[in-house]
A and B are shown apart, each in its own frame.
Chain A
């Protein structure tokens, strides 16, 4: 059982947290527009590039990501439209969401937030084929998985910091979050992405992470595990086989750990500039 944190329970209003997202959208209309149109059936790379071009910072990040080791293009992407083509609409939308929710402002986030986030994303992407999932979807969901945690930490900085300190294991932290806020950060992420119309398949992955017997959540559980082992001090590993319903064995992890470790910094640089 997770011990109660020493920080007193806040007058925490989940509705206020959600309302803050609406406020953010209003403050960043270009990002909001991209989030809105990126997955529409009639959206083309040309159209998306045209909208993206009006946000120089965001466009720059998409270009940087397209030329990163992750997409393997090694500086060959010189036009924004081709960059959109290469990284894909969902990734552009993910980057716009990151910008929209101020996740690109490290000063407002828990320490090491992006180290953990990029390793979760790369781990999910790298392991995706083993789970029959598309790597790019896994990358996006990995990049956005901690959105809810950022929201909680932003609205209750001290309280959430205390929870994180007391619960180094991800499952423990999620239980503590439910106890303190009535909702876990991961679930909050799912709700937010649902609000923005991200594909149902992507969102359902988030909803299944906490059910350890649910195969749909296996990939993200494994990604969290790899990220924990790579980024957290004194992290106590959980057997990967248990987390993945037997899909992965420990022998599968060393090459993944190595590759993620090498690429994470570049992805972080592309995502937050």
Chain B
């Protein structure tokens, strides 16, 4: 340790905790001459307080000369201190600070902070004077004021209702738009009074959202606001956190008046859920209505399905305007007739549904009868009195109903049953009817699946030449083997397909598969392959698409058109002979042959027959069967008719050699029957035709027909 250096430092350091006289003198000199800081010394003598000294800073701030400052009375310097108040500033035992205006030599006052420190004598004080507002502070204040004015202008002139809280829920500011929204004056809304305008049921949500904003987040609440005049506006309030340093948490809120938008949306929703013609709920709303009230296992609901009888007649004869008038009138009558609380919906077209709650079957039927009576009063349309009648299907909810839409479906079924039973009837869907309908529905679904998966199999029955007994063609027969129910007859599933819109895909499946099989046989059997395949076409398939589909199927499998014969029933042709003729002609033009199936069983007009572009008549099996009883008249007549029209004939249901011989004698061209050749699968036919080629080449089988 270097003691010399330590000792040398002592003269300028503190002695016993006190600064050295040299330091004190330095500080005093600095304080005396600086003009950065104003320092005064005050002294109280003989009951008066005077300034006894001031530094350069005080001279500069106050504008007095040093001499004038030296004897200045305190009341001159601090004019706002009255009476005994000087004691507040000049306390003996502790220093104080006060903000006071101080008067300068020019008479002007300057706001200052004055910090007084008593000296030990208790009679003198050092006063440090700090001018309250310097240039920088004034600039900052001006900037802050400008911000404030901009914000105020923005909010006041904004068309968006706004509110401002600087603390808690209390509003310190609202704009004109907010006042207009609520129809109240600002002073009626400031503080917490604005909460009085919030609908009591929505108040909690508003408070929660605002509380979220106060805690630093954002808040949003949908609330109804009650105007001064009692009207209600629906609004969305959005709160954003606002923090004022030194003050606390508040929020800025903006309000969107969504009353008109909601009303518009409501109108749209009404339009979406209501029928524009009658104003009744539509199918969508009906489904919602039933679903909302449906509870499985209870018996609360009843549905009535109404379908106007002969509505098409009104539309066709009096025009659609009259039809619309009738629908409106029916809607009005229905609405007036049902019980209060019942729903009346327009299901579509001339179909209406009534839904009732808490009624049994008897009451539902009574209501249906009352509706029938109300509807039957005449309506004058286009100068004609029309008496509307409806077929009504009634369903009352039972334990069987698992889903809400089953109710509507059941009363729809009941209505069809009513319609089928004769018009103007009321039918209640009973257990058996429901079971049948459901069974049918399931079967339709299964059939759809079977068609889609290609699970409909085709069998082929050989057709023989009556002249030499040679097999020349086959008829395609669709077979459906249900996985649970076993083999289902075409008599069952073809009408089902026709009713459920599945006949077209079924027909296309048969057509395509037949063509494919023909092509296969060609490949496997060559010349021995069946020359032609006959495909049955439903009446419902007889449209302008049929020739297109046939041509596509032939093309797909590379077959000549002459390899196909389309069989169409006599009744299908007679429904619209002119149209049928056009379609058949197109098929003929393709090169496809056309046969009339079951000829003689319907009511064919022989005159039409002459003009129909057909190649072949199929003699119905019932006429062939009569041959055994010695009655050959009809079979003979049909064959002769065909012959005269230059058509060939296929006799169906040939079961015996005698029948075959008789038909050949009568002039039938082709024969078809179970004993001649049963329906077989594609591969079986391959084998069968291959065998018959050999047989024909070496005829040894006496059983074969001639």
Q: Which residue of B lies closest to A43 (CB)?
A: B246
Question: What is the interface residue range for chain A against chain B?
Answer: 35 or more
CB-CB under 8 A from A191, the residues of chain B are 85, 88, 98
A199 to B244, CA, bound (A): 14
Query: Does A165 have its Cβ within 8 Å of any Cβ on chain B?
Result: no
A82 x B172 contact (CB < 8 A): no
Instruction: Indicate with 1 or 0, residue by residue over B199-210, a CB within 8 angstroms of chain A CB atoms.
Output: 000000001100
CB-CB under 8 A from B99, the residues of chain A are 194, 200, 203-204
B97 x A195 contact (CB < 8 A): yes
Q: A41-B245, A86-B168, A200-B99 provided; 17 other pairs, C-beta below 8 A?
A: A18-B88, A66-B168, A71-B169, A73-B211, A76-B207, A88-B168, A129-B173, A130-B187, A178-B83, A182-B82, A183-B85, A191-B88, A194-B97, A194-B98, A195-B97, A199-B246, A255-B187
Q: How many A-B residue pairs have CB under 8 A?
A: 130
Residues B211-263 near A (CB distance < 8 A): 211, 214-215, 245-249
A86 x B214 contact (CB < 8 A): yes
Query: Does A125 have its Cβ within 8 Å of any Cβ on chain B?
Result: yes
Asked whether A15 and B91 contact (CB < 8 A) given A76-B211, A82-B214, A88-B247, the answer is yes
CB-CB under 8 A from A1, the residues of chain B are none
A87: shortest Cβ distance to chain B, in Å? 7
B207 x A252 contact (CB < 8 A): no
CB-CB under 8 A from B96, the residues of chain A are 195
Instruction: Indicate with 1 or 0, residue by residue over A85-126, a CB within 8 angstroms of chain B CB atoms.
Output: 111111100000000000000000000000000000000011
Query: Does A33 have its Cβ within 8 Å of any Cβ on chain B?
Result: no
Instruction: Indicate with 1 or 0, residue by residue over B38-79, a CB within 8 angstroms of chain A CB atoms.
Output: 000000000000000000000000000000000000000000
A259 x B191 contact (CB < 8 A): yes
Q: Which residue of B lies closest to A65 (CB)?
A: B168
A188 to B87, CA, bound (A): 11
A265: shortest Cβ distance to chain B, in Å? 15
B84 x A87 contact (CB < 8 A): no
CB-CB under 8 A from B246, the residues of chain A are 39, 41, 89-90, 199
B247 x A136 contact (CB < 8 A): yes
Instruction: Indicate with 1 or 0, residue by residue over B75-107, a CB within 8 angstroms of chain A CB atoms.
Output: 000001011110110011110111100000000
CB-CB under 8 A from B247, the residues of chain A are 88-90, 134, 136-137
Interface residues of B (CB under 8 A from A): 80, 82-85, 87-88, 91-94, 96-99, 132, 166-170, 172-173, 186-188, 190-193, 195, 207-208, 211, 214-215, 245-249
Closest 8 CB pairs of A and B: A182-B84, A88-B248, A72-B169, A71-B168, A182-B83, A72-B192, A85-B249, A86-B168
A39 to B246, CA, bound (A): 6
Query: Mostly helix, strand, loop or mixed at chain B's interface?
Result: mixed
Instruction: Indicate with 1 or 0, residue by residue over A231-273, a CB within 8 angstroms of chain B CB atoms.
Output: 0000000000000000000001001100100000000000000
Asked whether A88 and B167 contact (CB < 8 A) given A15-B87, A74-B207, A182-B85, the answer is yes
CB-CB under 8 A from A130, the residues of chain B are 187
Residue of A18, A129, A178 with most chain B CB atoms under a 10 A cut-off: A129
Query: Does A19 have its Cβ within 8 Å of any Cβ on chain B?
Result: yes
Instruction: Indicate with 1 or 0, residue by residue over A54-76, a CB within 8 angstroms of chain B CB atoms.
Output: 00000000000010011111101
* Chain A to chain B contacts (Cβ below 8 Å), 19 pairs: A15-B92, A45-B249, A66-B168, A72-B192, A76-B207, A76-B211, A85-B248, A86-B168, A88-B168, A90-B248, A91-B248, A134-B166, A135-B170, A135-B191, A182-B85, A183-B84, A191-B85, A191-B98, A195-B96
Asked whether A259 and B167 contact (CB < 8 A) given A76-B207, A183-B88, A187-B85, the answer is no
A69 to B170, CA, bound (A): 10
B215 x A70 contact (CB < 8 A): no
B248 x A73 contact (CB < 8 A): no
Query: Does A5 have its Cβ within 8 Å of any Cβ on chain B?
Result: no
B88 x A86 contact (CB < 8 A): no
Partner of B192, one of A69, A128, A182, A252: A69
Partner of A135, one of B83, B167, B188: B167
Q: Which residue of B lies closest to A207 (CB)?
A: B80
Q: Which residue of B lies closest to A125 (CB)?
A: B191
B248 x A70 contact (CB < 8 A): no
CB-CB under 8 A from A85, the residues of chain B are 214-215, 248-249
Query: Does A26 have its Cβ within 8 Å of any Cβ on chain B?
Result: no
A178 x B168 contact (CB < 8 A): no
A191 to B170, CA, bound (A): 30
Instruction: Indicate with 1 or 0, residue by residue over A183-198, a CB within 8 angstroms of chain B CB atoms.
Output: 1000110010011000
A169 to B168, CA, bound (A): 35
Residues A155-194 near B (CB distance < 8 A): 178, 181-183, 187-188, 191, 194
CB-CB under 8 A from A50, the residues of chain B are none
Q: Which residue of B lies closest to A183 (CB)?
A: B85
Asked whether A87 and B248 contact (CB < 8 A) given A183-B83, A200-B99, the answer is yes
B88 x A14 contact (CB < 8 A): yes
Residue of B85, B88, B211, B245 with most chain A CB atoms under a 10 A cut-off: B88
CB-CB under 8 A from A76, the residues of chain B are 207-208, 211
CB-CB under 8 A from A134, the residues of chain B are 166, 172, 247
Partner of B248, one of A129, A136, A194: A136
CB-CB under 8 A from B191, the residues of chain A are 125-126, 135, 259
Q: Which residue of A lies closest to B211 (CB)?
A: A76
A236 to B573, CA, bound (A): 112
CB-CB under 8 A from A194, the residues of chain B are 97-99
Asked whether A71 and B132 contact (CB < 8 A) given A129-B172, A129-B186, the answer is no
A90 to B192, CA, bound (A): 19
A14 x B87 contact (CB < 8 A): yes
A89 to B187, CA, bound (A): 26
CB-CB under 8 A from B214, the residues of chain A are 82, 85-86
B88: shortest Cβ distance to chain A, in Å? 5
CB-CB under 8 A from A259, the residues of chain B are 191, 193
Partner of A82, one of B92, B193, B215: B215
Partner of B166, one of A41, A136, A203: A136
B192 x A71 contact (CB < 8 A): yes
Partner of B169, one of A19, A73, A90, A188: A73
CB-CB under 8 A from A88, the residues of chain B are 166-168, 247-249
Q: Which residue of B lies closest to A122 (CB)?
A: B191
A73 x B84 contact (CB < 8 A): no
Partner of A200, one of B87, B132, B187, B190: B132
Instruction: Indicate with 1 or 0, residue by residue over A9-35, a CB within 8 angstroms of chain B CB atoms.
Output: 000001100110010000000000000
A19 to B207, CA, bound (A): 46
Partner of B91, one of A18, A41, A181, A188: A18
Partner of B167, one of A15, A87, A183: A87
A58 to B85, CA, bound (A): 32
Asked whether A135 and B211 contact (CB < 8 A) given A39-B246, A87-B248, the answer is no
CB-CB under 8 A from A45, the residues of chain B are 248-249
A255: shortest Cβ distance to chain B, in Å? 6
A135 x B166 contact (CB < 8 A): yes
Q: Which residue of A lies closest to B85 (CB)?
A: A183
Q: Which residue of B lies closest to A90 (CB)?
A: B247
A252 to B186, CA, bound (A): 12
Q: Which residue of A lies closest to B87 (CB)?
A: A14
